[in-house]
Structure 1
Amino acid sequence: MDPNGSGDENSESKIYIGNLDLRITEAALIKMFSPFGKIVTEDFLWHTRGRKRGEPRGFAFIQYSSKEEAKLAKEKMHGRLACGRPLVVRVSSEKYAVEAAENSSKGAGEATKTSLSGSSSGQTSRSSKIAAIKNKLKALEEEGFSAKKQKQTDTSLQ
């Protein structure tokens, strides 16, 4: 970590691995990524609710002991086929930058993507998604109401 304690070092030494085939296990993932450096933590995400409960979500995070190891893993593994699917590998700090760019280009009222790095951001993500859905429903109801009102006006004029 940097002396200010901002956590930038952690996000630079952590990689996101996406587009994982559901047959890939945690052990296989660790085996694939351990040649690039010392793995400090590994977070393999699973569905916790619904009919897919207990199944892999298709992505994971691995934190290395240094940002150089994370960059090397990204360079060597991004696009490599695993069970017939090309892996998507990004340094976590880059993933957040990509999402921020995508969010700034989206129109108002659309749900925004958020990081999944902690339980509090997971709750924020859920809250923001609920708010976005409510806003969308309200906009659709208003459109529907004005369309009905227009229809009634049109039929009364005939």
Structure 2
Amino acid sequence: MQDPNGSSDEKSESRIYIGNLDLRITEAALIKMFSPFGKIITEDFLWHTRGRKRGEPRGFAFIQYSSKEEARLAKEKMHGRLACGRPLVVRVSSDKYLVEPAENSSKGVGEATKTSASGTSSGQMSRSSKITAIKNKLKTLEEEGYSAKKQKQEADTSLQ
């Protein structure tokens, strides 16, 4: 997580993720909602780029503030706040590293899945958290699956 020169770490601490956006919320409305908390440097409103939903909002966005204090304030004030009847999910981008503790390979599959799925109170996870959860689950399945497969083969040969 630490960048030797600190620049990308600082950037991720001043960038927020906004999720669970109602599809009626526009870019302009989003900027208007989040501008009271500081100077917005960039805003990335994500759209579907292909498929039948092409051109429709994807339901999440990122906003880059000029400082990490502004980003933290926006998170504090806007997380859970209703917008078009839906509670917003607001996280500082650097917090994605704190969502999920390091998985212990001795955990059972069910435990690893529970830990991953409860990453946030809203049930939504960042893309990197999902990838990490899938990798951990596959690793556990491979470890357990290999030994189970070996035991099954041994049991099958002993029955014959």
1:54/1:69 Cα in 2 relative to 1: closer, same or farther (>3 Å)? same
Partners of 2:85 and 2:36 in 1: how far apart? 21
Q: Which runs of 5+ in 2 are unaligned?
A: 117-126
How far residue 18 of structure 1 moved from its aligned partner, in angstroms, is 0.6
Aligned residue-pair number: 143
Residue aligning to 1:97: 98
Cα-to-partner distance string for 1:113-140 (whole Å, 9 max, x where unaligned):
417xxxxxxxxx6xxx7xx99xx8xx99
How far residue 28 of structure 1 moved from its aligned partner, in angstroms, is 0.4
What's the secondary structure of 2:98's corresponding residue?
helix
1:114/1:108 Cα in 2 relative to 1: closer, same or farther (>3 Å)? farther
How far residue 95 of structure 1 moved from its aligned partner, in angstroms, is 2.2
Residue aligning to 1:49: 50
Residue aligning to 2:119: none
Matched, 1:82 2:83: yes
1:76/1:114 Cα in 2 relative to 1: closer, same or farther (>3 Å)? same
What's the secondary structure of 1:48's corresponding residue?
coil
What's the secondary structure of 1:42's corresponding residue?
strand
State which structure, 1 or 2, has the greater radius of gyration over its C-alpha atoms.
1
Identity %: 74
1:113-128 to structure 2, matched below 5 A, reads: 113-114=127-128
What's the secondary structure of 1:98's corresponding residue?
coil
How far residue 24 of structure 1 moved from its aligned partner, in angstroms, is 0.3
1:37/1:105 Cα in 2 relative to 1: closer, same or farther (>3 Å)? farther
Residue aligning to 1:122: none
Residue aligning to 1:119: none
How far residue 79 of structure 1 moved from its aligned partner, in angstroms, is 0.8
Residue aligning to 1:69: 70
1:1-158 to structure 2, matched below 5 A, reads: 4-99=5-100, 101=101, 104=103, 113-114=127-128
Partners of 1:105 and 1:91 in 2: how far apart? 26
Partners of 2:61 and 2:94 in 1: how far apart? 15
What's the secondary structure of 2:5's corresponding residue?
coil
Q: Which runs of 5+ in 1 are unaligned?
A: 116-124
Partners of 2:40 and 2:104 in 1: how far apart? 35
Partners of 1:43 and 1:76 in 2: how far apart? 20
What's the secondary structure of 1:58's corresponding residue?
strand
Q: Which runs of 4+ in 1 moved over 6 A?
A: 105-112
